[in-house]
Amino acid sequence: MRRFATRAILAATRSPEVNQTPSAVPIYQSAAFSTGDASELGDVLTGATAGYAYSRIDNPTTAALASAIAELEGAQAGLVFATGMAAIHAAIVSVVRAGQTIVAAKAVYGTTRDLMVKVLAGLGIETEFVDPRDPAAVDAVLARTKSPLLYVETISNPTIVVSDISALATIAHGHGAALLVDNTFASPYSCRPIELGADLVMHSATKYLSGHADVLAGVVVGSKARIDALRPILVDVGGALAPIAAFLVLRGLPTLSLRMERHSETALELAAWLQGQDGVDRVYYPGLPDDPGHEIAVRQLHVFGGMLAFELSGGREAGRAFLDAMQLAERTASLGAVRTITTHPPSTTHRQLDAAALAASGIAPGLLRCSVGLEDVEDLREDFELGLAAARRVTKAAAKRG
């Protein structure tokens, strides 16, 4: 008989026999997978044989998530990452090389902009920003820079600009460039950019895909060839998603359609109500008939989404007062959760930008971004009324001072 320590190790690591199909994808919380012999291990590690050897390279739970999201997006394949930013980084560097230029939409997530203008610039990759609503400008910049990549967001963060994916794909492909779309704000329930001509689509799966604000994850989907080009970056840079995180995102996917319908219904009602409120200069929401992106949204989106933004006439101080007065909505920098989240982009998600860069991105000092949750709309409206009342008081006091 083997000795105690050996028996304890073997007993505790023996996989149970399961002959029935589980209701949920199992969490394969294992760093490594044993093979029958050295030859099999070599074949699995080199990809000659399908299988698993080491979870940084691949894992059954993370593979199940990648496959599920690719299917929902209408893509051939996908890869999941530890965060949305890891996914964006991998997607970009799978296409762009040192000495080349990225053409990107002016209004993008602040950390995405930082990745481009600080991290990638230090590696010899430049970025030029352009208004995605101006096809002639996009065409001209792609022609001048000979860029291999056009980067846009389906619905921009935080100004809720809706990009015309089909038109931009045509322009990009006319210059031999790939179109990479961040579809986080829309979700595949609302929009599937691959079906509109995009080459790669990414998500911060932290947001709507998981939906519960309890996990960090990212994903990129596209053709098999493009995902094959991404895989060495994931493996060698080490941005692998943990199996437990993959499980949590998988848990959220079955309710995505239900959640997006409710998010959108409530957001539209709040946006229409905000338009008539004193102290609100402008409301950004593609479901509003007078929104500049409404026509594209009607054509491209299944639902208008849960993200809206609005400008307070009192500027930064009014925005701060609005947030501090709210009692229901959370004050944080994330989005896409069951709870409503309201934030002030100039001091949070886009804090890296100076006044000039904020203005160039269309972000006003009093802009507030709201991720509308699943609460009752009447309760949210009451909470917003508290915020607006506080913002008006601050604005009036500032006007009296001079």
- Other CB atoms within a 10 A radius of the CB of residue 326 amount to 18
The question of whether 118 is a catalytic residue gets the answer no
Instruction: Report the largest interatomic distance among the alpha carbons of the chain, rounded to a whole angstrom.
Output: 89
Of 58, 164, 182, 383, catalytic: 182
Half-sphere exposure of 176 (CA within 13 A, CB side): 7
Residue 39's contacts (CB-CB under 8 Å, 6 or more residues apart) are: none
The question of whether 189 is a catalytic residue gets the answer no
> Pick from 72, 44, 46: which is nearest to 60 by CA?
44
Of 106, 113, 192, 207, catalytic: 207
End-to-end CA distance of the chain: 89
Classify strands 77-81 and 218-222 as parallel, antiparallel or unpaired. antiparallel
Contact 387, 326 (CB under 8 A): yes
State the Cα–Cα distance between residues 107 and 358, nearest whole angstrom.
9
The 3-state DSSP class for residue 185 equals coil
State the Cα–Cα distance between residues 341 and 330, nearest whole angstrom.
5
The question of whether 354 is a catalytic residue gets the answer no
Beta bridge partners, 181, equal 152, 201
Cα-based angle 127, 74, 109 (whole degrees, multiple of 5):
30
Residue 134's contacts (CB-CB under 8 Å, 6 or more residues apart) are: none
> Pick from 267, 354, 307: which is nearest to 155 by CA?
307
Of 28, 58, 106, 109, catalytic: 109
Any idea what DSSP says for residue 175?
T
Residue type present at position 82: A
The question of whether 400 is a catalytic residue gets the answer no
Of 43, 52, 54, 56, catalytic: 56
215 alpha-carbon distance from chain centroid: 13
Contact 64, 197 (CB under 8 A): no
Any idea what DSSP says for residue 337?
S
Beta bridge partners, 261, equal none
124 alpha-carbon distance from chain centroid: 25
State the Cα–Cα distance between residues 39 and 378, nearest whole angstrom.
64
**Catalytic annotation, residues:** 56, 109, 182, 207
